[in-house]
């Protein structure tokens, strides 16, 4: 298993170009099965999850290519409506295929996506929206068999603005008869990107980015060429790493509006930020101030995907911070790892109380999930001495060469495979 050897204490500075968003590209790749045609997707990050999604598309009969940052998917032929079990178990995002496969084939068989390192991730909301569109679902022996003779547009009231369930509802209703309204929809930028992609393919969807999405079904779909939005979480992670080392950075290809609340927390911590069109210039303060409270919430609230990175940063801030995680219950696993580096964090249920210390010291730590892994890299870069981050595979799932990116800014990370 790969590990990172990080020599901490080096001030990061320079420029970074942000690549396409993991959470946008995955549902969009799943959506390429819908048109039975050519799809060209640009600005794709080269991530393990993206490659797994391509393996799934190949396995069901599509012809895929990944060259540079461009993916082409020819979904003309489809050999099967059964998604291979071994690939589903590798990646929870395979549930994004439910909606597109029902739209294309009226049928899909998928093994039940298992638990996840950040806590139980049920799919009840996904299944509920599909049922309201007229899908019959048979769950047995760990498999889901979904059939839709006739997808029918309807009003879907989500109990919670789940990102994935909103996306599956959009994907399935593109081929439904009549109008579908999704109420209490998630408003994340990646939902807007999916709407824009589907509309470029010929669908008629409006309202993404608000709590009500409106889909006019059964439009003729055509081939499509599309560029993925920049990854706001990758951008936020780099800013956190730079902040931890007291450095400065120019981020290029970034939409600062997608990072509004995250940027406001960096400002509270004493960092300075200049936003230009598609660029952010960021300078860390010499000593970070504690951000008093952070509470993760659905967009436009503070993203759960940035929580671990901020927790890591607050361990070396001046004062006490309180972080409340409301989306995923097991996202405080890094606390034990950070304590090996000398941090002072107490966890009480969904709340972490962080008392900043002067400095962290290098230690051998274990990445247990994607964002927590990135947070340990941030801690290692800021710490005194050498930090070894084990289980880098978790980080590689969602970051396209995080080590190379940090090294380009002057960081000292050696990957050992």
Q: Which residues bind ligand UD1 (CB under 6 A)?
A: 23, 26, 93, 121-126, 160, 162-165, 186, 190, 304-305, 327-328
Shortest separation between residue 21's beta carbon and ligand UD1, angstroms: 9
Of the two residues 202 and 300, which places its CB atom closer to ligand UD1 in the complex?
300
Using the Cα atoms of residue 287, residue 289, residue 294 and residue 298 in order, give the sign of their dihedral.
negative
Of the two residues 186 and 338, which places its CB atom closer to ligand UD1 in the complex?
186
Which amino acids are annotated catalytic? 116
CB 282 within 8 A of CB 212: no
Shortest separation between residue 344's beta carbon and ligand UD1, angstroms: 26
Of the two residues 190 and 400, which places its CB atom closer to ligand UD1 in the complex?
190
**Which residue is closest to ligand UD1 by CB?**
164
Of the two residues 305 and 396, which places its CB atom closer to ligand UD1 in the complex?
305
Of the two residues 30 and 377, which places its CB atom closer to ligand UD1 in the complex?
30
Shortest separation between residue 401's beta carbon and ligand UD1, angstroms: 19
Of the two residues 126 and 394, which places its CB atom closer to ligand UD1 in the complex?
126
Q: What whole-number distance in Å separates Cα of residue 292 and Cα of residue 314?
A: 10
Shortest separation between residue 264's beta carbon and ligand UD1, angstroms: 18
Of the two residues 330 and 339, which places its CB atom closer to ligand UD1 in the complex?
330
- 218: which 2 tokens? 């059964």
Shortest separation between residue 172's beta carbon and ligand UD1, angstroms: 14
């Amino acid at each position: 298993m790969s590990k990172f050897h990080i020599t901490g204490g080096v001030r990061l500075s320079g420029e970074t170009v942000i690549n396409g968003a993991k959470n946008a590209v995955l549902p969009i790749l799943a959506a390429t099965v819908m048109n039975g045609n050519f799809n060209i997707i640009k600005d794709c990050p080269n991530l393990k999850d993206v490659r797994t999604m391509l393996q799934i598309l190949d396995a069901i009969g599509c012809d895929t290519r990944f060259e540079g940052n461009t993916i082409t998917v020819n979904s003309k032929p489809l050999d099967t409506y059964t998604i291979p079990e071994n690939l589903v178990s590798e990646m929870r995002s395979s549930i994004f295929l439910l909606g597109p496969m029902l739209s294309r084939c009226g049928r899909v068989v998928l093994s039940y996506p298992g638990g996840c390192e950040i806590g139980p991730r049920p799919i009840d909301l996904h299944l509920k929206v599909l049922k309201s569109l007229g899908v019959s679902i048979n769950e047995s022996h760990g498999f889901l068999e979904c059939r839709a003779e006739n997808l029918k547009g309807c009003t879907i009231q989500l109990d919670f603005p789940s990102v994935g369930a909103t996306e599956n509802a959009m994907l399935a209703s593109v081929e439904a008869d009549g109008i579908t309204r999704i109420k209490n929809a998630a408003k994340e930028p990646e939902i807007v990107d999916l709407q824009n992609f589907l509309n470029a393919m010929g669908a008629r969807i409006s309202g993404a980015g608000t709590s009500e999405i409106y889909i006019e079904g059964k439009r003729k779909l055509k081939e499509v060429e599309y560029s993925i939005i920049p990854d706001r979480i990758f951008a936020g992670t780099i800013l956190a790493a730079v902040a931890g080392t007291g450095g400065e950075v120019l981020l290029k290809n970034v939409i600062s509006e997608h990072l509004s609340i995250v940027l406001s927390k960096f400002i509270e911590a004493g960092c300075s930020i200049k936003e230009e069109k598609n660029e952010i210039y960021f300078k860390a303060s010499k000593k970070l101030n504690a951000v008093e409270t952070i509470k993760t919430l659905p967009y436009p609230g503070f993203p759960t995907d940035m929580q671990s990175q901020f927790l890591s940063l607050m361990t070396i801030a001046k004062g006490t911070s309180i972080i409340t995680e409301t989306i995923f219950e097991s996202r405080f696993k890094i606390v034990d790892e950070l304590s090996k580096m000398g941090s002072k964090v107490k966890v009480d249920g969904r709340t972490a109380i962080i008392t900043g210390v002067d400095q962290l010291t290098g230690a051998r730590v274990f990445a247990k999930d994607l964002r927590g892994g990135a947070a340990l890299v941030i801690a290692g870069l800021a710490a005194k001495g050498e930090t070894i981050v084990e289980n880098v595979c978790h980080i590689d799932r969602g970051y396209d060469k995080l080590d190379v990116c940090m090294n380009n800014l002057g960081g000292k990370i050696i990957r050992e495979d």
